[in-house]
């Protein structure tokens, strides 16, 4: 893996690019892989770290969307189920088959959901993860020891996919690099240069690590900035009208004792008509999500008290062990970049999760969508690029391109190492190369100093937040533990990155301030 100075040198040595991508979340990174696979000179600029925003704050599901099936959106479900199957094939190290159980508290809901999920099975075709089935009350109680038994009638079991979103984002960045692309984090696009015909000729970039500025020329420019889509469009066209509706979704992280099962719970209809999941993930339990209209996009949105109460109230309706605010190990919030419909929409549950592509001269913007369909979104964008801007005979499809880390069989190893996939042995070798590297960064968690070193040398981590939030997921799993681990992580990173004591102090201060958004007081 090249270090950052080598990547910057590559940028400086390349005056012209074919495809310039702004945004390093699910959409942008997917496009970076597709464009590089087709042989285009591709560069990607991310203002923060890869997947810093919405793309690391998902429900961690790769799914067709049972809810969209209920809404009758068969096309979206079929597309997502197909993409779910392709991700299982291309990123086995990150994909997990997860069994879900819908507990039924009325006699009729068992047959109703059983029939609906048979259609879900049917739509999966060859990509099926397993057959859904109706299960009796006693079996539900056995599989879900903490489910409330009062009025429980039956259950319906079905299968869907689970993954690690920030790790997939990183692996996509690594894949695009291996295919000849150049993904760069901490590079902020500050302005466009345009010709007399309003075509964009170049972007101006600031490296936020060094404050050095660059001018980068390109043929086609792609705006894949999610909730910040409108900011980029306004930079291009000052009188641009809003195209994105940000919708906030929060998740609560709880101890595994609340579920005591490797099965997940899907609550199909909450008090306000939403779907809610209670899911095992990295030896913890995720409960979420919400769907709250937000006026202004923020890179680190704040969970609302009513959202936290809604999730706690809902799970306490179903679980015997009562969850309170003090039990929440971490709360994380993301903003979905929903495509704005024709008229102002206040109920974001009804705003389409389908993606939209907008073209204006040689600026293409991708809006909406979801992690499950990231590859198809990228394919659709590149179809516009090759039809309208860059002709090519290369018909390479990303359908069967292995993502960095992919393995043929799931690894039999501890959870902290499973997401490295094919890099797993290299991480172990690094840890054994220095006795200090085997030291844990927190007494209650298995993550090591060696993993910090690996993240700096091989995974483009430049801050303690990059490591604790996205290279390992400790900030999301246990925010207080992440805060406690921060000083040691800062010291190790400073040594690797050749930073001074002032950098360490500043990093710890900034990370402590960030953790306040993740810790419930």
* Chain segment 196-210, per-residue pLDDT in tens: 999 999 999 999 999
The predicted structure's pLDDT at residue 67: 77
The predicted structure's pLDDT at residue 413: 85
The predicted structure's pLDDT at residue 264: 98
Whether 90 shows a pLDDT value over 70: the answer reads yes
Q: Above pLDDT 90, what percent of the chain?
A: 87
The predicted structure's pLDDT at residue 353: 54
Whether 411 shows a pLDDT value over 90: the answer reads no
pTM greater than 0.75 (yes/no): yes
Query: Do 124 and 85 contact (CB within 8 A), yes or no?
Result: yes
Whether 348 shows a pLDDT value over 50: the answer reads no
Which spans in 260-373 are helix H?
305-318
- Say how far apart CA 154 and CA 140 lie, in whole Å: 7
Whether 137 shows a pLDDT value over 90: the answer reads yes
Residue 347's pLDDT band (boundaries 50, 70, 90)?
A: very low
- Say how far apart CA 295 and CA 27 lie, in whole Å: 22
Overall average pLDDT of the 5-31 stretch:
97
Overall average pLDDT of the 207-218 stretch:
97
Query: Do 220 and 362 contact (CB within 8 A), yes or no?
Result: yes
The predicted structure's pLDDT at residue 349: 43
Whether 346 shows a pLDDT value over 70: the answer reads no
107-116, 133-142, 158-167, range with the lowest pLDDT: 107-116
The predicted structure's pLDDT at residue 412: 81
128-142, 164-178, 352-366, range with the lowest pLDDT: 352-366
Overall average pLDDT of the 128-152 stretch:
96
Residue 265's pLDDT band (boundaries 50, 70, 90)?
A: very high
Overall average pLDDT of the 43-60 stretch:
97
Residue 342's pLDDT band (boundaries 50, 70, 90)?
A: low
Whether 402 shows a pLDDT value over 60: the answer reads yes
- Say how far apart CA 197 and CA 156 lie, in whole Å: 59
- Say how far apart CA 257 and CA 323 lie, in whole Å: 10
Q: What distances in angstroms separate CA 468 from CA 291, 326, 449, 499, one per listed residue?
A: 26, 22, 12, 18
The helix or strand, by DSSP H or E, that contains position 221, with its residue range, turns out to be: strand 213-223
The predicted structure's pLDDT at residue 85: 96
Whether 176 shows a pLDDT value over 70: the answer reads yes
Instruction: Tell me 34's DSSP state.
Output: H
Query: Do 15 and 217 contact (CB within 8 A), yes or no?
Result: yes
Please give the full DSSP string across 168-187, using - where no structure is assigned: HHHHHHHHHHHTT-EEESSE
Bigger pLDDT: 102 or 354?
102
Residue 101's pLDDT band (boundaries 50, 70, 90)?
A: very high
Whether 142 shows a pLDDT value over 60: the answer reads yes
Residue 339's pLDDT band (boundaries 50, 70, 90)?
A: confident
Overall average pLDDT of the 417-434 stretch:
96
Whether 479 shows a pLDDT value over 80: the answer reads yes
- Say how far apart CA 176 and CA 439 lie, in whole Å: 32
53-62, 237-246, 326-335, 429-438, range with the lowest pLDDT: 237-246
- Say how far apart CA 521 and CA 518 lie, in whole Å: 10
* Chain segment 23-38, per-residue pLDDT in tens: 999 999 999 999 999 9
The predicted structure's pLDDT at residue 4: 92
Q: Which domains does the chain have, with CATH numbers?
A: 4-54+166-243+348-400 (3.50.50.60), 246-339 (3.30.9.10), 415-515 (1.10.8.870)
Q: What is the mean pLDDT of the chain?
A: 94
Strands 213-223 and 16-22: parallel
Whether 65 shows a pLDDT value over 90: the answer reads no
């Amino acid at each position: 893996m090249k270090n950052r100075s080598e990547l910057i040198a590559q940028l400086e040595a390349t005056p012209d690019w074919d495809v310039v991508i702004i945004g390093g979340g699910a959409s942008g990174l997917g496009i970076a892989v597709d464009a590089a696979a087709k042989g285009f000179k591709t560069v990607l600029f991310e203002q923060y770290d890869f997947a810093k925003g919405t793309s690391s704050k998902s429900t961690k599901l790769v799914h067709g969307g049972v809810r969209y099936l209920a809404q009758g959106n068969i096309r979206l479900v079929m597309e997502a189920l197909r993409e779910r199957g392709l991700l299982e094939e291309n990123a086995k190290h990150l994909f997990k088959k997860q069994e879900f159980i819908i507990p039924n508290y009325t006699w009729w809901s068992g047959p109703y959901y059983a029939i609906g999920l048979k259609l879900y099975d049917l739509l999966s075709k060859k990509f099926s993860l397993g057959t859904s089935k109706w299960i009796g009350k006693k079996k539900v109680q056995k599989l879900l020891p903490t489910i409330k038994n009062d009025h429980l009638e039956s259950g319906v079991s079905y299968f869907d996919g689970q993954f690690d979103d920030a790790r997939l984002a990183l692996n996509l960045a690594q894949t695009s690099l291996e295919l000849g692309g150049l993904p760069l984090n901490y590079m902020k696009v500050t302005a466009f240069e345009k010709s007399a015909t309003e075509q964009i000729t170049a972007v101006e970039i600031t490296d936020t690590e060094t404050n050095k500025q660059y001018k980068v020329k390109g043929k086609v420019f792609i705006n894949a900035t999610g909730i910040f889509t409108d900011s980029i469009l306004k930079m291009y066209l000052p009188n641009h009208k809003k195209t994105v509706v940000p919708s906030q979704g929060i998740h609560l992280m709880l101890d595994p004792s609340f579920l005591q099962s490797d099965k997940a719970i899907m609550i199909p209809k909450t008090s306000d008509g939403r779907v809610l999941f209670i899911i095992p993930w990295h030896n913890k339990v995720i409960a979420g999500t919400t769907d709250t209209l937000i006026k202004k996009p923020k890179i680190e949105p704040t969970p609302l008290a009513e959202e936290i109460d809604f999730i706690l109230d809902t799970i306490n309706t179903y679980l015997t062990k009562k969850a309170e605010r003090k039990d929440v190990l971490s709360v994380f919030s993301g903003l979905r970049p929903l495509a704005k419909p024709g008229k102002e929409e206040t109920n974001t549950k009804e705003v389409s999760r389908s993606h939209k592509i907008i073209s204006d001269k040689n600026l293409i913007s991708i809006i909406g969508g979801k992690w499950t369909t990231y590859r198809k979104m990228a394919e659709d964008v590149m179809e516009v690029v090759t039809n309208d801007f860059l002709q090519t005979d290369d018909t390479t499809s990303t359908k069967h391109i292995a993502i960095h880390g992919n393995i043929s069989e799931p690894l039999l190893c501890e959870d902290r190492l499973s997401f490295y996939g094919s890099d797993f042995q290299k991480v172990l070798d690094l840890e054994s190369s220095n006795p200090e590297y085997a030291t844990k960064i927190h007494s209650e968690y298995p993550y090591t100093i060696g993993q910090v070193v690996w993240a700096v040398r091989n995974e483009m981590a430049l801050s303690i937040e990059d490591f604790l939030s996205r290279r390992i997921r400790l900030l999301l799993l246990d925010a207080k533990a992440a805060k406690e681990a921060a000083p040691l992580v800062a010291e190790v990173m400073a040594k690797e990155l050749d930073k001074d004591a002032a950098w360490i102090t500043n990093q710890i201060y900034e990370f402590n301030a960030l953790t306040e958004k993740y810790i419930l007081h």
